[in-house]
Amino acid sequence: MREIYPVTWQNNAVVLIDQTRLPETYTTVNITTSEQMAVAIKTMIVRGAPAIGVAAAYGMYLGAREITERDRTPFLAALEDVAIRLRQTRPTAVNLFWAIERQLQAANQTEGDVTAIPARLLETAQAIQADDLRTCQAIGDHGVSILPSEPQAVTLLTHCNAGGLATAGYGTAVGVIRSAWREGRLKQVFADETRPRCQGSKLTAWECVQAGIPVTVITDNMAAHCMQRGLVDLVVVGADRITANGDAANKIGTYGLAVIAQAHNVPFYVAAPVSTIDFKLATGAEIPIEERDPQEIYQVGETRICAEGVNFYNPAFDVTPAALIKGIITEHGVFAPDQLAQVKP
């Protein structure tokens, strides 16, 4: 089954799959400066919490190699400026902040001449990327353990894209899908379209097709009907930030999906690496929610689909309360939301 690598390091550049152009066009973008990386994250050429983390880690390396200071204190101050710029790109996914922090620590711990720092940051970015790939494979395999014993092959519904494109290459929720498919435990996937950016219909469906996994796309407002008709055995979604109490921020619409899953007795799981858990925040109310350009709502392609003079509100994420989540599938196993302390690093 083909994995997908949204971020790769090739010929002295970071190569990103341009996720804004899928599925019509598969194309890549070469990133050679930290500013280009910040723009790529902001404009969602690269998106999805772990993938943003990997991209930001490389962004820190690109920033380090741009710095001309040779004294330690001004070098580290200039690197902090790179971190500030990258942190401004997207506020919700904690993996961004986590990866930047790891790179700042790596720089601080590099002894001797500052010329050694860029190489150390490149190594760290590559390590973050390799770890994420292994982590998601473990998440996928643990996910198989929560599949109901009946039916033998389940229908799983997911929202947004928590796939190879959103990680280093295997996926969290889509990691569970990949592993379940490999084990013969998956009948098909329902992919929510995921308005307004349509990560479900554009990216998750594309990934499933690449992997030969049967996928049915529905618009977001069809999920309740599908559950009422008994068409969905379980829901698995990704997360952008999980707080210490098990509340989980994910793509807008996830909360509504959890509410209707509970109403229909359909188990609702979140799949995410431990790096997505923000133990510094007590509850989901503290998670910053990104608001994006309203054009994402009122324009489809070149066409305006809403009257002039209308107001818009475009939050990109919502928070699903822990009470609606049956389990959080991590690389260390599956935990009830109130058991997350067990995986605290």
Rounded (10°) angle between helices 117-144 and 49-66: 170
Question: In the complex, what is the shortest distance from the CB of residue 31 to ligand MRU, in angstroms, rounded to a whole number?
Answer: 17
Q: Give pairs for 338-345: CB < 8 Å, separation 24+.
A: 338/245, 338/246, 340/242, 340/244, 340/245, 340/246, 340/277, 340/279, 341/244, 343/274, 343/277, 344/277, 344/279, 345/274
Active site residue 240: yes
Nearer to ligand MRU, 49 or 208 (CB): 49
**Least distance to ligand MRU, CB of residue 175, Å:** 8
Residue 215 belongs to what H/E stretch? strand 215-218
With the C-alpha atoms ordered 38, 43, 46, 48, is the resulting torsion angle positive or negative?
positive
Contacts for 229 with CB less than 8 Å, ≥ 6 apart: none
The nearer residue to ligand MRU, 63 or 200, going by C-beta atoms, is 200
> Please, what is the minimum distance in Å from the beta carbon of residue 171 to ligand MRU?
6
- Minimum Å gap between C-beta 75 and ligand MRU is 31
- What residues line the site for ligand MRU (CB under 6 A)? 47-50, 93, 160, 162, 166-167, 172, 199, 238-240, 250-251, 316
**Rounded distance between C-alpha atoms, residue 236 and residue 225, angstroms:** 18
The residue of the chain with the least Cβ separation from ligand MRU equals 238
Preceding peptide of 196 cis, ω within 30°? yes
Catalytic member of 192, 240, 278, 318: 240
* Choice between 237 and 260, CB closer to ligand MRU: 237
Least distance CB 7 / ligand MRU (angstroms): 13
Give 239 or 328: the residue with its C-beta nearer to ligand MRU. 239
CA triple 225-48-282, angle to 5 deg: 85
- Nearer to ligand MRU by Cβ, of 82 and 160: the residue is 160
What residues act catalytically? 240
